[in-house]
Amino acid sequence: MTTRSMFASVLVILLVASSLRADEPVPNANQLNGRWIVTKLVVDGAEIHVSKSVESFVFDFDDDLWLYSFVVNGNRTMVSFKVKLTKDDNGISVDAMLRNGVYENGVCKGICRFDGDIARLCLADKPSTARPDCFECPADSGLQLFELRRVKSSDPFQ
C-alpha cells in the first residue's frame, strides 16, 4: 500500500468516525422547543414533496411533548408523542410514545442529530419496527427520515 493510499484510507476512517458524532450531547428538551419545518421527508424509500410553508409538514417541540402536523390532500393530521432522548454509542436515540392514533401508548424508536437550528430524525412508523441504526430510509423499511429547520421569529415562512 502506498503512502498516498494509506493517507486516503486514514482520512476516510476519520471522516466516517466524525460523522457518527459519538461526542454529541443530548440536548435539553427545552433547547429544542419551538416550531421546526420539515424540509425533506422520505417515507419507506420514497421522497415526499414538502413545501417550505409551516402549514405543510411541521414539528412543534414543547419539552418532551412533540406534535407532528402535516397536510395531505387537504386533510390535516396531527400525531402527538411523549419523547425521551438518550445518548448511546451511535448518537442520540429517540423513544417516542404515541399519545393518539391506532398505536396509542406504543413507542416508536428512532435516532436523531441536532446541529443548532438543523436536525435529522429517522423514526419508525410503528412500534413494531426496529430502531434504525443510520439516517437512511430504504423501501419497505417502515422508517421515516426527516430533515428539519427551526423556525425563527423573523422567518418569512412563519
Collect contacts of 76-85 with beta carbons under 8 A, ≥24 apart.
81/108, 83/29, 85/26, 85/27, 85/29, 85/112
pTM to 2 decimal places: 0.77
- Domain 24-150 part of CATH 2.40.128.20: yes
Q: 65-72 and 57-62 as β-strands: parallel, antiparallel, unpaired?
A: antiparallel
Which of 4-8, 53-57, 87-91, 120-124 comes out lowest in average pLDDT? 4-8
Question: What confidence tens digit (pLDDT) does each residue in 47-62 have?
Answer: 998 876 657 899 999 9
Question: What confidence tens digit (pLDDT) does each residue in 74-105 have?
Answer: 889 999 999 999 998 778 999 999 999 999 99
pLDDT of residue 151: 93
Neighbours of 138 (CB within 10 A): 12
